[in-house]
Amino acid sequence: MAEVSSQRNDEIDLIELLRVLWVKKFWIVLSAFVCTLIAGVYAFTAKEQWISTAIVVAPRSTDLLPARAEYVRIIGDGDFSAGKLSDSLYGQFKHFLLSNDLKRQFL
């Protein structure tokens, strides 16, 4: 009885693979170019679906009152006005927001 030996050939011939890729290089480059072209057309013609807006409003005295009241209780400062605090904090915020030095430093 003749024995039939079956060997599995799991090896990949890299030289042959490179030859096939080299022969098909035109189709590879063409498909990459077409896909890039389609993606570019879509990117520049698609309607933007993201829009961001921000509105900055001055805080109300009631927003700052609980935190400041705790601060006054801890320190023991008796001269506390929520209105003055609100005006002071918002004034500092506007000053820093409009500061050209900080804008240059950030950029």
14-23 confidence digits (pLDDT tens): 999 999 999 9
46-63 confidence digits (pLDDT tens): 988 887 888 877 777 677
CA-CA-CA-CA torsion for 43, 49, 50, 51, nearest 10 degrees? 120
Give the domain ranges of the chain: 14-45, 61-106
Q: What is the pTM of this model?
A: 0.38
Give me the pLDDT at residue 66, please: 76
State how far the Cα of 6 lies from the Cα of 66, in Å rounded to an integer. Answer: 83
State how far the Cα of 97 lies from the Cα of 100, in Å rounded to an integer. Answer: 8
- Token pair for residue 17? 């693979």
How many residues make up the chain in this entry?
107
